[in-house]
Amino acid sequence: MPTNRIRTRPPRAAGRNPAGPPLVTDEVAGFLEDAAHYPGGHATAVAFPRDETECASLVRDAARILPVGAQSSLTGGATPMGELVLSTSRMNAVGALEDDRITVQPGVALTTLREVLDAAGKAYPPVPTFEGATVGGVVSTNAAGAATFRHGTTRDWVRRLTVVLASGDVLDLERGQVRAADGRFVIDTSQGEIVVPAPDYRLPRVPKCSAGYHAAPDLDLVDLFVGSEGTLGVVTSVTLDVLPRRPEVCVVMTFLEGEDRATDLAGRLRDVSMDTRRRADPAGLDVAAIEYLDRRSLELVRAAGTGPGSRVSVPATAGAALLLQIELPPGTTAGEVHEQIGLAASAATPAGPIVALCRLLAGEGLLDRTELAAPGETARAAELLALREAVPEAVNRQVAVARRTVDGTIEKTAADMIVPFPKLPDCLRLFRAAFESRGLDHAVWGHLSDANLHPNVIPRSADDVRAGKEAILACGREVIRLGGSPLAEHGVGRNPVKQALLRLLHGDAGIERMRAVKRALDPENKLAPGVIFPPAAGGKAPA
């Protein structure tokens, strides 16, 4: 039976230095910036623990400490502001692999995880777009990505966690064993009892929400730490559920006239896929992911003209593109897929996923504007996927050029918002109106199957950055009104706009409930101070 009480344990000695690893000062420069290029990063030292004993020693003795993985954060959450940097890069052991789960240390990269699982014929599907991220990083932000529509977010796949608390005590958590009761958890530690209030605000009913601490009726203690961005504890071990048999995947790119056609087609593909799942039909079409690129995104790709994505021919008339990932039964071959394509026009052809896809696209007049990479056609699949990744890369280059040649204060200005799928057209119109009314060049792309979009300003001046932030805040208010979340999958981090969006979503009362959790578990505010919440004076947990 679940309980709301749990006892910590001391860290297990593992043949390492119980006093902790040495503090390294000559490698700090490589840790002063994350993927958000958040300004002002500084630190005096970095440490590389190898196990929970070394990690616990560092956490216990540090005044302020920032755990980091691949530093692929898009929010500044992995940029140090004077803290001791705790790099998980040497906590990279892969442990037990069972039929349906695997245990790893937090520094294991998603690419490594995929390789291990590929060799065993298994899969971990809810990965974000950047596979260089680490397991600890995706757990800390409840990362999601393209296939959330089919497979959910990281939270749905975390089975067990080991967490070092701010005191240096260790918690072993297993899903389903510790749940909130009477609005609280009770943790017995070496220093006495900790009463942790369970957040009770309501989260929007959308498939992704990375907006501070999780809340749910009878909240599982595992879920309080998933998505907490390193502010409540340092994860030292993760057990993930995996698919015991890896599905085969087709990658499909289709070009359309504009966003209205794209959203209509995405809706049809979603409906067909959900029907396939309801009927558990192995011959039905099941689209795991639908990615979207708008007209400006495609213009940026054409203008760049380099990289693997440039090997995909983008029609000059294309006003939008959809990139699909379609799951097929394990063992499906490229030959079988192409045979289905060849027979799709025949009414007598037996039903099958690819037959269903071809008929749907033919009915939309899109078959001749579509390209498919079948299972095993890895080079072409990589090029189609690279076209999508070429868009944020192009925007980032434009931002860097403007910062270098126009104004050194220019920075990336983007949002990560989600609405209920029926509100997707409203959301797109909202973004267009907010940016166009301010005269801002912009591009919109994202995970259309979840109605999770990433509108990005392409700034030409510091004024554009300021106007872009105003537009994002205005959009955030409306997204909340539409029943969505202005913080979908990247987290909050140190970004002032995202912290403002967090307050818009939860209100002052909700923020205070989060801060109460932080005060209970980290009363000295030593873990990732300034992440999620603005910095507080005096070093204590935000009051």
Q: What is the DSSP string of 179-214?
A: B-BTTEEEEEETTEEEEEEPP-PPPPSSS---SSS-
| CB 387 within 8 Å of CB 323 | yes
For 100, residues 6+ apart whose C-beta sits below 8 A from its C-beta are 241, 242, 243, 244
Instruction: Judge whether 279 and 299 are in contact, CB under 8 Å.
Output: no
Q: What is the pLDDT of residue 14?
A: 61
The CA distance from 473 to 104, in Å, is 38
Tokens 């958040």: give the residue.
38
> Residue 144: CB partners within 8 Å, gap ≥ 6?
126, 128, 152, 153, 154, 207, 208, 210, 447, 450, 452, 488, 489
Beta partners for 158?
240
* Topology of domain 391-493, CATH: Alpha-Beta Plaits (3.30.70)
Q: Do domains 248-388 and 391-493 have the same CATH topology?
A: yes
In tens digits, the chain (543 residues) has pLDDT values of 889 999 999 998 765 566 678 899 999 999 999 888 888 999 999 999 999 999 999 999 999 999 999 999 989 999 999 999 999 999 999 998 988 999 999 999 999 999 999 999 999 999 988 888 999 999 999 998 899 999 999 999 999 999 999 999 999 999 999 999 999 999 999 999 999 999 999 999 999 999 999 999 999 999 999 999 999 999 999 999 999 999 999 999 999 999 999 999 999 999 999 999 999 998 899 999 999 999 999 999 988 876 777 789 899 899 999 999 999 999 999 999 998 888 877 766 777 899 999 999 999 999 999 999 999 999 999 999 999 999 999 999 999 999 999 999 999 999 999 999 999 999 999 999 999 999 999 999 999 999 999 999 999 999 999 999 999 999 999 999 999 999 999 999 999 999 999 999 999 999 999 999 999 999 999 999 999 998 765 456 565
Could you tell me if residue 102 is left (phi over 0), alpha (psi between -120 and 50 degrees) or otherwise beta? beta
β-sheet bridge partners, residue 234: 164
In angstroms, the CA 468 to CA 454 distance is 13
Domain boundaries, the chain: 248-388, 391-493
For residue 475, how far is the Cα from the chain centroid? 20
| CATH no. of 248-388 | 3.30.70.2190
pLDDT at residue 540, rounded to an integer: 60
Q: What is the pLDDT of residue 538?
A: 47
Summary count for the chain: helices (H), strands (E): 13, 18
Instruction: Note the pLDDT of residue 18.
Output: 64
pLDDT at 541: 57
- 167 and 191 Cβ atoms separated by less than 8 Å: yes
| pTM for the predicted model, two decimal places | 0.94
